[in-house]
Chains A and B, each alone.
Chain A
Amino acid sequence: MVRASSVEIRKVNKFYGPFHALKDIDMSIEPGKVTCLIGPSGSGKSTLLRCVNFLEEYNSGEILIDGELIGYETAGGKKMSSRRLREMRRTIGMVFQQFNLWPHMTALQNVAEGLIRVRGMARAEAETRAADALEKVGLGDRMGNHPSRLSGGQQQRVAIARAIAMEPRLMLFDEPTSALDPELVGEVLTVMKALAAEGMTMVVVTHEMGFAAHVADQVAFMEQGELVAVDAPANILHHPEDPRIQSFLRTYHERNSF
């Protein structure tokens, strides 16, 4: 079992100029639980996710990781030092829609880089660990390949290995399968399921309703910057009460039936 973080989101607001992107978001995520964020595009799911590791700055409210405020010294106060922020980010892994591997490094180097620069490990030790992480996502035989020689699914698995090699206590996934060809989605979801089974706290922005239904402990539905509902997967996906969720799911089902 891994050591897992809790996340507490309280009254979080975010503005882009006059645009109100996140409206008084409240959400609790218990250690070791998987939360899926769903909703139409532009609803603020990714923005909320990016606020959790402060890649995106929220304007008011609090986000606490294991009870510790991220981004600001005190709620509504001045920003925390970049050194402190870096320390907090070490324990938060993130996986992006576009993989964002570094193209000038091999798979192994991509995974080892953080261990060397951030954890201060010697190269040999870092590479041993990186190799283990790649093994774990099923890419033990592709370690010497540059990203340009890997399929999208393989690239995303390297990106997951890069995050888990840092031994995070919380993993953030920003539409991890949305840029993949349909036949490559499965291999990435399999790796994510295995992580969830290990007891990692995970927050996943996704359009994979099957994953949300089978793996998530709770599903949050967002629309127009509002958190419409957070509940058990079945209550959101199978018996939604809110008309906005019903209409979203109707569209989803129509698009996926033929």
Chain B
Amino acid sequence: MNDFLAHYGPFLLSGFGMTVLCWLLGTIGGMALGLAIALIQRHSIAPVRWVLRAYIEAIRGTPFLAQLFLLYYGGPMFGLRLDPVPAGLLGLSVYSSPYFAEIFRSAFGSVPVGQIEAARAIGMSEFSIVRRILLPLGLVSALPAMVNFSIVLTKETVILSIVTVPELMYQVQRMSAETFRYVEANLALALFFWGLVELISRLGRRFETRITKHLIERT
């Protein structure tokens, strides 16, 4: 057992590191893309909104596995040749963007119209209103859903193993194939993920408490 850990431990750790990296960058990419989509949807003409709506439905309606296959193996047919890690990051960003877009859309919708009107009434520009009122208030109300979906995404990273990104699942599969110790390998995988998720949710809650402190009515 000790030999086993000594040999595979470093691989598992480096796999875990890659998992965290892919999750972090993919989530940030997805949030940025989702935010852009939600803002454009809010401030653009109908045809643009229809295109974005179609994008959201198409990405949400298809499995991440299929999207990643198409991107990595189908991409070269359209001149998009990506290494595994960039393909994985792009895939994860695109896959998560519609979910984030929907989270932001509903969060922006929850900002009271009156607070936007108050800004209009004193002559603030739409740009200032977005930056100073809509974003700060919208992001605060979006936070719980953002944290929640980020947690869902940690586990989606295992799919990156099919395009040979050397993340945790990839290492676990290699270890399983070489040693037939499927149970131990997958137990390690489960524990790593659980730890990561626990950390994210704790940080998320702490952050949430901090930024909503002054928003809560004292009764």
Report the minimal beta-carbon distance from A70 to chain B, rounded to whole angstroms: 12
Q: Are A104 and B214 in contact (CB under 8 A)?
A: yes
Nearest CB of chain B from residue A110's CB, rounded to whole Å: 9
Binds A, one of B6-14, B31-39, B116-124, B157-165: B116-124
Interface membership of chain A positions 80-107, coded 1 if the CB is closer than 8 angstroms to chain B and 0 otherwise: 0010001101101110101011111000
Binds A, one of B48-56, B126-134, B180-188: B126-134
Q: Is A223 an interface residue (CB 8 A)?
A: no
Question: Is A114 at the interface (CB under 8 A from chain B)?
Answer: yes
Residues of B close to A193: CB separation below 8 A: none
Contacts A103-B137, A104-B214, A149-B218 given; indicate if A90 touches B117 (C-beta within 8 A): no
Which residue on B lies nearest to A162, using beta carbons?
B122
Question: Is there an interface contact between B136 and A104, defined as CB atoms closer than 8 Å?
Answer: yes
Q: Which residues on A sit within 8 Å (CB–CB) of B112?
A: 98, 100
Identify the closest chain A residue to B137 (Cβ): A104
Q: Is there a chain B Cβ closer than 8 Å to A10's Cβ?
A: no
Q: Which residues of B contact A92 (CB under 8 A)?
A: 121
Contact residues, A127-162 vs B (CB, 8 A): 146, 148-149, 159, 162
- A53 (CB) vs chain B CBs: closest residue: B121
Once the chains bind, are A148 and B215 in contact (CB under 8 Å)?
A: yes
Which residues between 78 and 117 of chain B lie within 8 Å of chain A, taking CB atoms?
112, 114-115, 117
Chain B, residues 130-147, CB within 8 Å of chain A (1/0): the string is 001100110010000000
CB neighbours (8 Å) of A117 from chain B are 124-125, 128, 132
Contacting pair A102 B118 (CB below 8 A): yes
Is B217 an interface residue, CB under 8 A from the partner? yes
Give 1 or 0 for each of B192-219: 1 = CB within 8 Å of chain A CB.
Answer: 0000000000000000000000111110
Q: How many residues of B contact A (CB 8 A)?
A: 24
Max count, chain B CB within 10 A of own CB: residue among A101, A148, A149, A162: A148
What is the CB-to-nearest-CB distance from A16 to chain B, in angstroms, rounded to a whole number? 16
Q: Is the CB of B123 within 8 A of A90?
A: yes
Chain A residues within 8 Å of B115, by CB = 100-103
Q: How far is the CB of B214 from chain A (nearest CB, A)?
A: 4
Interface string of A110-127 (1 = CB under 8 A from B): 000110011000000000
Least distance between B89 CB and chain A CB atoms (Å): 32
- Cross-chain contact A104 with B123 (CB below 8 angstroms): no
**Least Cβ–Cβ distance between A64 and chain B, in angstroms:** 18
Which chain B residue shows the least CB distance to A115?
A: B122
Chain A residues near B124: list those with CB within 8 A. 86, 113-114, 117-118
Chain B residues, Cβ within 8 Å of A103: 115, 137, 214-215
Nearest 9 CB-CB pairs, A to B? A100-B114, A100-B118, A114-B122, A94-B121, A90-B123, A89-B123, A146-B214, A86-B123, A117-B128
